[in-house]
Chains A and B, each alone.
Chain A
């Protein structure tokens, strides 16, 4: 381990994040007026409790490249200033000569206009999301026959109107210009585009063998049943249907419940009923089994509404969004989740208040005594004392508690962990109070052990169909899938976007995107959601099921259905009987379902007692302790890589690292320092099966042993311009190992070695602006006691002395409130905003230059010690200031103020001086450095398929400033409804929801009329928790920048006290020097303490 670089050569630059300790200016506010912490100049940074990157705490980790030649090119677009001017003048000449006349536009009406369809008015379709097996209801808004926006289906029981980032991004998938346009057949090394009929004939010729298999992804509807029917019809058998999902949490949970109760089902977690939520490596809010349902319930329990706010304790080795949201979070060594759960079970058993049946208690006791060797020294290993476990157990037994375990990285004990969790939940009595297995449970989307069965059987298969799965990319190469595929004579890949398995296939058949498909999902047992096409196919594709149908027909073994819709309709006749819709005539029932989107009834199943040989199924594989361990969780945006081809998902930043378009190696800062590395050092990670190189990102709060590399990126260059060549796939390092009970691949906890390569590679981060300099008015947190004491009291944030004349009284003042206590950082709002408002994606090179275009961005702030920090997310968007600094500086009045509170941006007036962006203290104005169009800018082209744009929003061109408009198109629609239908704005039937608000699963965002005292937004603005960003402390009559934003934030209610200054102790030995530094700041700032009393609980006396 050695680095050849000189440390911090460029630390003399004016942008060095923190002056060195010997700097005489350190800690002196030379320009600050007396008592004015809000006006402290940024260069005299006085660190507050919050930090955005570890370099603010450990400046030695923030490096500059020692040798410029080792730096990778910053941007794909390298034009020197002079060339650029020449380029511009050339284009201007071309413009002046060629574009004297605008093009003649055509108006093409329908031939037969469908009834009740009007050009310019949207039509909505109810359907079911096909991006994962959670089966969320979706409402597709279509204009002139093409989808322009997806929303959650408002009354769907699973997602209740919300949609996650991945679901929102589906629209880009539908209109992706690089989707395969026609089916292809491979002849030797030659690949030929073909006609569908030829494909069917050709393929049918291969169906002579009876060894035909299908590998497909998880699904809960009738899809798998149809595949089985196909296999039987063509002479194979139904057992040759294999299911595989990279997220094997569902499989592990279902298998654990089969072993424990004989029921292969997943309990539905209604978190709204829990008072104490304990997560052990759980990721129920980011990937999980049904993240929107979980988020809804979690918000209901965990959001502040009074003293009975639920408490969330999380044990995890790396950072998940779920852990970031928790009240207490304890980093544990990778792979020790089962240990932690067993220790908790131990403490629960010891507690006299333990619940659960006698059988469950004796099984728990049996498991503990059988694994007593394992528990030896376990407390030291997990770093949490027995007394603390006892205390937690006591809390879990006194209030309604639930334990959720398992995330999206899986080791050998993933199912064993679920078994341990079952024990814990039995002992705290959470079954049928929070976890529902008896009533409305979740069906398992994949069959247990299918992957191992597939690997055994595949050697003998003659024909293999890969439907919507990519085993080459999503399984570690050490599993030898590539070799396996090469051995199978005929492989067909059926997918909506070409994947990494396609080069090994004879047939690559382009299937419909789910927005073009028929289908259904059984989201919850007894709840059926239907999927219907909302657009005519955009490419010459076919639905996967219908390809099978036509192939079977060509092989003279027809399945006997006209199309897949007919198959579904037949299946839904049974559902009609089960649900009991006898009053609806059979022939119109399916149409009714298509209109409504779903149907169902509550289901119950008998749950037997815990199996008497439960303890014998409990098998723990000791994977060793200590040393660096590789963790490859699913990325919450790209999942296992299946969404990596959607630019909007590549460009929304990872919530914790804020990195876009790349893969990183996240390490605990202490580990980074110990290895002699610094931020963005390119390192080689060597695992049992292989190695890869990626940049180091020091992420506070990871366990020092965890080497966290997210999955999702690492596609080959041939695999499309969006995903091809981005980052690396960490699976190459994993040796072949599997879950002891289900056979799912291990992606967690294998020992790795890290070596420096001596190279530097900068990751494209979105949040890299400077220290927030101890400002109290950006992020606010208040302790529960203060929040409770303030309940019922109100404040008027708009009561501010003002020299300007008052605005004329208007009918409305539009405003927004964002509850920081609810935001989970899931970024769904950001994607929804980008899709609704035609916000372009700019690519890695431009993000490196700070030119990302998000109107809505999620900022992430750490507080507390680097080893175990707390995370707060803050959605940041145009604040629509009543006294906006941007408006006064515009020389052409392109940005001005609407009397109804909207800071309006008139694109056609903008001449691109960017004065407004300089003046904006919130830094959310975005400038179009380019006209973002497919394949025009830099190395990373952007998807701007005109068909994927929202026709209600102007598309901005180069040289124009843009920013959040509060979705004015929606405000306009509501005003028209008010005038034409007579329903006042804000009343039921005419409620305005901005795109971000509508999709937010945590209901953190509220938009409304601030002048309407009954609106939720205006009431929340009066809440004592409300504050205006950068507008000082209203209670202390300090008004900060006095911009008077229309957006207000509700302070996060914290269960743990937050120190006012400094870093809350715990710096570790090696940073003693810094502790001292910050200590002196603390004294310096001591004089201001009195001013912040209203909100801060505890004035931490400095570590100095």
Chain B
């Protein structure tokens, strides 16, 4: 039986080593990291969005607070991408002649949601509730600025991932702030 196992495992091991050898142009373990970006931890992932929405213009130049549009962040686990009616709240009147705004208006009129590409994507076995992190300390939350995890989005034309969003990075902050460190806090 032992020989049968090793015979069967041989092709597997061969391929594993081969892939690891080929993968040396990236970090050696990149073949199992499964990230959509080019790096192991997905930092720098900067996908092109269907509408080139500029956070720099909206949140930076026009000073619109993050949670004006991402209003679910303080109410829900999910920060939420704003619905089209939030966009249309201003763009019914503002910059209606711009081609991209025309596109947004078209989506809105056709009742056709825009399919944004997720930049910050945690694995399905991790549960990160936004509301408890972003709410003010006075309201029982942790009072963490959005920028702490998402970077200076207000300076980005195209949003990119700046924090690694990996467990060590989460734990670092949790330790610093004496937050819950048990596995079950995020994994259940």
Contacts and interface: CB of A to CB of B under 8 A. Distances in A.
B19 to A, nearest CB: 5
B156 interface: no
A898 B135 CA distance: 26
Contact of B123 (A89, A111, A119, A908): A908
A582 interface: no
Interface in A61-118: 81-82, 85-86, 88-89, 92-93, 96-97, 99-113, 118
Contacts of B81: 107-109
A86 B117 CA distance: 38
B55 interface: no
A351 interface: no
Interface in B3-32: 4-5, 8-9, 11-12, 15-16, 19, 30-32
Given A113-B83, A118-B72, A904 B183 contact: yes
A803 interface: no
A908 B187 contact: yes
B8 A89 contact: yes
B116 A108 contact: yes
B60 interface: no
Nearest to A89: B12
B118 interface: yes
Nearest to A976: B132
Interface in B86-138: 86, 107-108, 111-118, 121, 123-127, 129-132, 135
A103 to B, nearest CB: 7
A953 B8 CA distance: 36
B79 to A, nearest CB: 8
Interface stretch (A255-263, A734-742, A964-972): A964-972
Contacts of A111: 83-85, 107-108, 111-113
B183 A906 contact: yes
B184 A980 contact: no
Interface in A892-945: 896, 898-900, 902, 904, 906-909
Contacts of B115: 106-108
B77 interface: yes
A113 B141 CA distance: 25
A119 B78 contact: yes
A96 B108 CA distance: 42
A950 to B, nearest CB: 11
A875 B151 CA distance: 49
A904 B71 CA distance: 33
Contacts of B182: 898-900, 902, 904
Given A96-B19, A904-B187, A109 B75 contact: no
Nearest to B129: A976
A109 B31 contact: no
A1041 to B, nearest CB: 24
Contacts of B44: none
Contacts of A953: 188
Contact of A82 (B4, B31, B76, B111): B4
Nearest to A113: B83
A808 interface: no
A1094 B186 CA distance: 44
B124 A965 contact: no
Contacts of B121: 105
A121 interface: yes
A120 B80 contact: yes
A96 B16 contact: yes
B169 interface: no
B75 A904 contact: no
Contacts of B113: 108-111
Contact of B19 (A97, A121, A954, A982): A97
A979 interface: yes
B77 A121 contact: yes
Contacts of B188: 904, 953-954, 965, 968-969, 972
A899 B12 CA distance: 41
B34 interface: yes
A952 interface: yes
A830 to B, nearest CB: 19
Nearest to B86: A113
A575 interface: no
B139 interface: yes
A984 to B, nearest CB: 12
B124 A955 contact: yes
A102 B75 contact: no
Contacts of A952: 127
B187 A104 contact: no
A900 B188 CA distance: 15
A97 B12 CA distance: 12
Contacts of A899: 182
Contacts of A965: 184, 188
Nearest to A980: B140
A495 B185 CA distance: 44
B122 to A, nearest CB: 10
A112 B112 CA distance: 10
A694 B37 CA distance: 58
Q: Which of B19, B71, B77 has the most chain A CB atoms inside 10 A of its CB?
A: B77
A980 B132 contact: yes
26 contacts: A85-B5, A89-B11, A96-B16, A96-B32, A100-B31, A102-B36, A103-B36, A104-B36, A107-B117, A108-B113, A109-B113, A109-B116, A110-B84, A118-B71, A118-B76, A119-B72, A120-B72, A120-B77, A904-B183, A906-B184, A954-B125, A969-B127, A972-B188, A980-B132, A980-B140, A982-B140
Which 4 A/B pairs are nearest by Cβ-Cβ distance?
A120-B78, A120-B76, A979-B140, A113-B83
Given A92-B15, A980-B135, 18 more contacts: A82-B4, A85-B9, A89-B11, A92-B12, A100-B34, A104-B36, A105-B121, A107-B115, A108-B115, A111-B84, A113-B85, A120-B130, A121-B75, A904-B183, A907-B125, A908-B126, A909-B183, A980-B139
